[in-house]
A and B are shown apart, each in its own frame.
Chain A
């Protein structure tokens, strides 16, 4: 597609349940990123993929959070045993590194996650 696509756009779930968030990056973009936007913490980096590998997972807040990327394209972010503090907007971004590093990242509209 023309832009980064994320699904679902909204997710409401009960505390303790697992959730899966999906990101479909811009076609041809090799780099993919997950961020989290919450009222108290602003915009926080979670994880970075280059192709299918994740050279930087430093932002994942706990071992309940994991992410994978297959085929160098779609990525899923999984949160196990959700807690109320996981409520946030989860943003995915992608970039092309064909012109070198530090290229602009293009964001999807995000998934708004609410934990009851």
Chain B
């Protein structure tokens, strides 16, 4: 079945550091890919999406590129802030319309 694998956390960075959170997927067909973010005490929010190969999703300084050849959708940000501290979930939807999530990666950014 479809699955998403993302790097285990926590990822601990200093403010202004470069962030990469790795995500790879297994899916039948041509999935759409998403990153969701969950800030402390809040619900899941859509961060960015990509619907086909080579698409780049971007939002709030975060980017991820849909790489079909490596089945990856790594999340990057050039300069993190303390306010980016949250749990990040990589996810996909394929033909079955349900989101399949990775286990989540906690990001901790210190001043």
Q: Which A residues contact B (CB, under 8 angstroms)? A: 31, 33, 35, 42-43, 45, 48, 50, 55-56, 59, 91, 93, 101-110
Q: Which B residues contact A (CB, under 8 angstroms)? A: 31-32, 34, 36, 42-46, 49, 51, 89, 93-104
Main SS of chain A's interface residues? Answer: strand
Q: A42-B104, A43-B89 are in contact. Are A105 and B99 (CB under 8 A)?
A: yes
Asked whether A107 lies within 8 Å of B31 as measured between CB atoms, the reply is no
- Kindly list chain B residues whose C-beta atoms are within 8 Å of the C-beta of A107: 36, 43-45
- Kindly list chain B residues whose C-beta atoms are within 8 Å of the C-beta of A91: 43-44
- Kindly list chain B residues whose C-beta atoms are within 8 Å of the C-beta of A55: 97
Q: A102-B31, A102-B32, A102-B93 are in contact. Are A108 and B43 (CB under 8 A)?
A: yes
